[in-house]
Structure 1
Amino acid sequence: MTTTQWLLNAGLLIFILATNLGTRPVTRRRLILPIILAAVAGILLLSNIPTGGNDLALDYIGAGAGIALGILAALLMRVERNPAGQATSTAGAPYALLWLLVIGGRVTFAESANGWAAAGIRDFSISNAITGADAWTAAFIIMALTMVAARVITTYIRYRALPARVDAGTPQPVRGH
């Protein structure tokens, strides 16, 4: 991995944790900004996706893993209304651990691909018709971007499912059986 790739991964982890850990209001900006950033990153980083052999299948696997991990990340956040009626999300150690494992796993794979696991990854790639490092890079980028998008979309769905603010002083109709 290059220094730039190390910095991008570290920056991504810091940004995700700094903007999501603790209790935060669910705002339009908090929902839209990660989607915009993911779209820009996709445009900048995925301009030339390898399509030979089974490269696209690897991309689909990356997208599926990203969606599953993004949903899991969102489910590790509590989404609720605070006493003032504002929607909030709360993320703690399990959320941070998931992101650390995912980003750490990508970094570990990239480093091991040039070191101790190079022969195994090469042999796996050859036997599964994956054309090389660029195909793996694209799949991991797709995984990261879909993870962010799935986390935001799942959080939005959970936010929309929250009950409307209820005034404690107003009698509410009872819904019977």
Structure 2
Amino acid sequence: MTTTEWITDIALVLIVFRQLREGRLDLKTFLIPLGIVAFVAHTYLDSVPAAGNDLVLIGALMAVGAALGIAGGVCTRIRVAGEHLLIKAGAVSAILWVLGMGARMGFQFWVSHGGADNVVRFSIAHHITTDQAWVAAFVLMALTEVVTRLATIFIRSRMVNGRQAQTTAATHPAPSLDRTA
């Protein structure tokens, strides 16, 4: 693994640790992880191979990424404090995030330290045509995990905001515009 790969992988893992401390849900919450995975996709995703069972591999790892992302987003606490939404990744969310990002990092490390022959044998046996299929599968898994986690957090934040608005309206009704009373 190159220094850039290590830095990128570690940055992706560290994103969730930033959210273990409760902080304001803002644009940075979404842009930083999206920026990192966009960089990874741009750097490593040359193509999406479609021969043999390449798409099966890619789809399977994207499904794992989606499941981890949705579960991580659901396990992230979102609450209202004054006029702001606050977000805090819980232990389960952090574990799921590290599991997904760490699995990719672990696979890269394993392949570059003696596991390549096993991957080649598995690829031949399962009709995976190129190493680019593995690259695409893991990059798209990470991208899918990030996007689904952020989408889940975004949807949940809108729901929390909506409930807060309903509660505020019920406890503080708007003044009547009827002047005849």
Q: What is the TM-score of this pair, normalised by structure 2?
A: 0.79
Separation in 2, partners of 1:114, 1:132: 16
Distance 2:132 2:103 in 1: 17
* Matched residue count: 170
Residue in 1 aligned with 2:5?
A: 5
Percent of aligned pairs sharing the same letter: 32
- Selected match of 2:136 from 112, 135, 138: 138
Contact 1:25–1:87 (CA under 8 A) maintained in structure 2: yes
Give the drift of 1:104. 2.1
For residue 94 of structure 1, report the CA deviation from its aligned partner.
2.6
Q: Secondary structure at the match of 2:22?
A: strand
Letter in structure 2 aligned against 1:170? H
Aligned partner of 1:175 in structure 2 is none
Deviations 1:36-68 (A, max 9, x none): 543454334323233332112211112211111
Amino acid at match of 2:78: V
- Structure 1 CA distance for aligned equivalents of residues 43 and 117 of structure 2: 30
Looking at structure 2, the residues matched to 53 and 27 of structure 1 have their Cα atoms a distance apart, in angstroms, of 43
Residues 38 and 149, structure 1, Cα contact 8 Å, conserved in 2: no
Query: Would you say 1:170 and 2:172 are equivalent positions?
Result: yes
Unaligned runs of 5+ in 2: 175-181
Report the counterpart of residue 113 of structure 1 in structure 2.
Answer: 111
Is residue 2:150 matched to residue 1:152?
Answer: yes
CA distance in 1, matches of 2:99, 2:35: 24
CA RMSD of superposed structures (Å): 2.5
Is contact 2:51-2:129 (8 Å) kept?
Answer: yes
Task: Answer with 150-159 or 124-133: which moved more.
Answer: 124-133
Q: SS where residue 129 of structure 1 aligns? A: coil
Q: 1:29 to 1:115 in 2, by over 3 A?
A: closer
- Any conservation in 1 of the 2:22–2:86 contact (CA below 8 Å)? yes
SS for the counterpart of 2:164 is coil
Go from structure 1 to structure 2 and tell me whether the alpha carbon gap of 1:42 and 1:107 turns closer, same or farther (over 3 Å shift).
closer
Corresponding residue for residue 49 of structure 1: 48
- The answer as to whether partners of 1:22 and 1:92 remain within 8 angstroms in 2 is no
Matches within 5 A, 1:59-70: 59-70=58-69
TM-score, with length taken from structure 1: 0.81
Aligned match of 1:38: 37
**Structure 1 unpaired stretches of 5+:** 173-177
Give distance in 2, aligned partners of 1:2 and 1:63.
Answer: 24
In the alignment, is the contact (CA less than 8 A) between 2:23 and 2:86 conserved in 1?
yes
Alpha-carbon distance in structure 2 between the residues aligned to 1:135 and 1:46: 10
What's 2:90 paired with? 92
Distance 1:91 1:160, change over 3 A: same
Quick check: which one's helix share is greater? 2
**8 Å contact 2:8–2:40 — kept in the other structure?**
no
